[in-house]
Structure 1
């Protein structure tokens, strides 16, 4: 093994080349004067045989604000070819009469969001970064050491048996909920297991899905069904681990009949199911999101329950605001790693993060409690919510990512 140390300087080093890390690199690289490194331990999506953990079988509902970011990157036209617009969201509870419906037409938008498989986002981002002269995508590679040296951080990166020391005024940690970057810097996190497993797959309904998304709360956990291309539906079914074991084992036709029984009339008869995957669910929060010269992003900062589908969209709002703050600092001559600067970024993001995390967590708890009084309250709440257009509009606006500006700074050539 060659352990020769090579010194390299970057304006920013991003640990993690998944959805969030790659998106941040693409946004920052619009400033051609910046030199950016992305350190990713898995090979890029177009070269891999197995799924990258961030670009796997799951699908993502992109809020309109997230689509706006991809549009500014010049990627939305490519992504839209494999994306399906959500025209209606129906929220129901198994065995109950309450129902709430949000319609794009009522919100005066073309779509409430767009559903796309993660692998298409990964392919678009990876291809885009590969064409940028000011981005070095180091993969497969790992950061195996971090230390401060004056006003900078030095990262020891191992790639192909060679170690290099790379200096930067700003390190962004975006390497997932089990973050190695957090561990190397001693940044603590707290994790709360939901005692649920998400079963993820695609199913094909007998009838056209009509671009409807279904959020259904069942006796075993929440069920999210999203419209996909070729009249498929993306399924995220959250259940207890023991039931997940059973559902992963049963034959396809048995799985479909079990799913039909809990999904209700909104889905109807199902005729086909794809390969099933399972993922344990937990709420993971970093105790620190900023330090001098350091920002923690994505699931490394906040890994959410998928019930509301807001984890990635919230992280993309983080990305947009961070890029806005760093661009302003550069124009004012302030160093990117300045703690007051990074604290300003966090201050601008904290309320939206708290609201989104609280909504996701409390929604999971509310619909997991099966007591009769709460059941009546939930049904009454869904009916009331459906009748209050102002309240629905506020929720829809937040879900579409319109509560935070996602406008990126002007391009610097």
Structure 2
């Protein structure tokens, strides 16, 4: 007999795990399909990727019970400094000015993954298929049948709602026939940690140039996360630099606001592409996170946007279940798409527009950019609105981001 679930989540990355945790006490029957077994829990290394979490995300993770596991590794962001190389305008965002103690926090990606995994291990009501891969699906009037490949062979389960949280190359998206719009930014992102001469003390930098954006993020132990984008034709040469050469390149691109850079960690490189699903839903199916939209990392919007996808969906599913409704109904999917529209479209437009404007080498734009930043910096209402959106409060805000379990 085929097991029938209310909700099946494909993908146990950061977004998929967050959704499953949010549904643990919902009363819904939930399955989580994980392509690979959880990695060995290693101690965080200073050279790992780091995530800038918006305030809405840190509050949501607190609501989910995950945040207490991160307090030892999370570093608050209290101020943000935005500028462009060679231009005089700056925009400064300050938590105190916004009336909060922090605008968000920087967390090692590995630490967040481990914290989510530890919480997920306590979710005894979630049925986990691990390792298992989605091979095929068939949609009928009241369910979706899924063929899963496991080490013991093929198995079939059914679900009222199928959630694709399986990343940029989403199998769920492909099998449901949802197309994508893709932009290759012809940039490669280098990520590492390093030691700035001047302690950042909660200050994050976002800096733009003709060759792409870069960021410096505060970490524990006076270290900083460094994010550098370079034109892809230059990526091989940058990757080949030794530590001294890379530090010199980083210093030349960033400048001296944080003093001299030293002690770089191991670097990793990531090509930057924007892959946006042409729709969020198909019959009895919905996309969240990178399966729905993979965007330029400028402004650190990607995971924050995906988490808001997951928690908005969780909230709607819980409301629908309490009313005795069908988790995969067209009405629920339409409500979800409408609820996410303003936040998603606004974030997509902001991310792409910022790349096009802030990194455009046209000299005529230089004074306009500088004057724009100065104007925004000098108007409390304008800076406050930017800070609020940067903290993840755009459009309909999930209850989890307000500290409330639905």
TM-score greater than 0.5 by the shorter chain: yes
SS in 2 for 1:177: coil
1:12 aligned residue (7, 18, 26): 7
Q: What residue is the counterpart of 1:401 in the other structure? A: 392
Q: Bigger shift: 135-144 or 104-113?
A: 135-144
Cα offset, 1:410, TM superposition: 7.3
Q: In the alignment, which residue of structure 2 is the partner of 1:118?
A: 109
TM value normalised by structure 2: 0.95
Contact 1:260–1:267 (CA under 8 A) maintained in structure 2 = no
CA distance in 2, matches of 1:34, 1:349: 22
Match for residue 25 of structure 2 among 24, 27, 30: 30
Report the alpha carbon displacement of residue 186 of structure 1 after superposing the two structures with TM. Answer: 1.8
| Matching residue of 2:340 | 349
| CA shift for structure 1 position 178 | 0.9
Name the counterpart of 1:39: 33
- RMSD of the alignment, in Å? 2.0
- Between 14-23 and 184-193, the greater mean CA deviation after superposition: 184-193
Choose the corresponding residue for 2:233, options 234, 242, 254.
242
Ranges in structure 1 where 5+ consecutive residues have no aligned partner: 1-5
Structure 2 distance, partners of 1:226, 1:357, is: 22
Cα deviation, residue 79, structure 1: 1.3
- What is the DSSP-based 3-state SS (H/G/I as helix, E as strand, rest coil) of the residue aligned with 2:360? coil
How much has 1:292 moved relative to structure 2?
Answer: 2.2
C-alpha separation between the residues in 1 aligned to 2:357 and 2:198?
Answer: 32
Q: Where has structure 1 moved over 3 Å in runs of 4 or more?
A: 45-49, 408-412
> Offset at 1:82?
0.7
State the alpha-carbon separation in 2 of the partners of residues 353 and 73 from structure 1.
22
- Separation in 2, partners of 1:46, 1:67: 25
Mapped to 2, the partners of 1:305 and 1:135 lie a distance apart of 33
8 Å CA contact 1:46, 1:123 repeated in 2: no
Cα distance per residue 1:101-153 (max 9 Å; x no partner): 11111111111110001111110111111111111232221010111133100
CA–CA distance in 2 between the matches of 1:262 and 1:186?
42
Give the drift of 1:48.
Answer: 8.4
State the Cα deviation string for residues 54-108 of structure 1 (Å, max 9, x = none).
xx93211111111111111111111122100011100011111111111111111
The C-alpha deviation readout for 1:280-304, integer Å capped at 9, x for no partner, is: 1111111121122111010110111
What SS does the aligned partner of 1:391 have? helix
Q: What are structure 2's unaligned runs of at least 5 residues? A: none
Per-residue deviation, 1:411: 6.3
User: Does the Cα contact within 8 Å between 1:30 and 1:411 map onto a contact in 2?
Assistant: no
> So what's the TM-score if we normalise by structure 1?
0.93
Task: Give, in angstroms, the shift of residue 261 of structure 1.
Answer: 1.2
Aligned to 1:141: 132
Residues 34, 134 of structure 1: 8 Å contact kept: no
